[in-house]
């Protein structure tokens, strides 16, 4: 069976951040024991990764390098801002890496992460954590199958189908 719209695809992958000097750092992976399953063709993966998978079948492997524009976007300094610590709930101990939902400049709900805390000020960042990074996906297709009606209506893979 080939990968196409509305098929359930099971893959393993390793995601690396690529440095300017050719070094790579593993930042995420899904293994045979804990694979990624998704319904193809609904934007679950980055567009160039989905494009690479289209029409392929079980056993297909690839490595794909992505510029930030083709991955999670360029890092935008205007999505970072310093805020007074007292603007945060007093019952929460602020820590680096904490994530919050807040209102963006246009009133939309955005996710931010605490990047720095100093002198009563907190630096929050609304960029995706992988924004600005050159990435490499190394992926292998383990299985392709028909999606069940319920999976398609909920856009969620049925956990009972994992093995």
Query: What residues contact residue 68 under an 8 Å CB cut-off, 6+ apart?
Result: 74, 75, 131, 132, 133, 134, 135
The residue-averaged pLDDT of 109-137 equals: 92
| pTM for this prediction | 0.80
CB distance 124 to 115 below 8 Å? yes
Supply the pLDDT for residue 10.
Answer: 97
Tens digit of each residue's pLDDT (9 = 90 or more) over 51-97: 999 999 999 999 999 999 999 999 999 889 999 988 888 888 889 99
Of the candidates 42, 51, 40, 48, the one whose C-alpha atom is nearest the C-alpha of residue 11 is 40
Tens digit of each residue's pLDDT (9 = 90 or more) over 134-147: 999 999 999 999 99
Distance CA 124, CA 45 (A): 26
Order the strands of the 121-125 sheet from edge to edge: 80-84, 121-125, 109-118, 99-103
- The tokens for 118 are 């100093």
Of the candidates 127, 135, 146, 128, the one whose C-alpha atom is nearest the C-alpha of residue 13 is 135
Confidence of residue 162 (pLDDT cuts 50, 70, 90): very low
CB distance 19 to 136 below 8 Å? no
CB distance 137 to 47 below 8 Å? no
- Point out the least confidently predicted range of 37-41, 89-93, 121-125, 151-155: 89-93
């Amino acid at each position: 069976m080939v990968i196409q719209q509305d098929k359930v695809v099971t893959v393993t992958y390793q995601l690396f951040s690529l440095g300017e000097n050719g070094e790579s750092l593993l930042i995420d992976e899904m293994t045979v024991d804990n694979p990624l399953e998704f319904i193809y063709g609904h934007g679950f993966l980055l567009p160039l990764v989905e494009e690479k998978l289209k029409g392929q079948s079980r056993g297909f492997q690839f490595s794909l390098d992505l510029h930030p524009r083709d991955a999670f976007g360029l890092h935008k300094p205007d999505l970072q801002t310093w805020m007074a610590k007292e603007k945060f709930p007093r019952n929460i101990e602020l820590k680096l890496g904490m994530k919050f939902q807040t209102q963006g400049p246009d009133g939309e709900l955005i996710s931010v992460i605490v990047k720095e805390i100093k002198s009563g000020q907190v630096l929050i960042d609304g960029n995706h954590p992988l924004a600005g990074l050159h990435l490499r996906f190394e992926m292998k297709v383990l299985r392709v199958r028909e999606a069940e009606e319920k999976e398609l209506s909920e856009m969620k893979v049925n956990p009972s189908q994992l093995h």
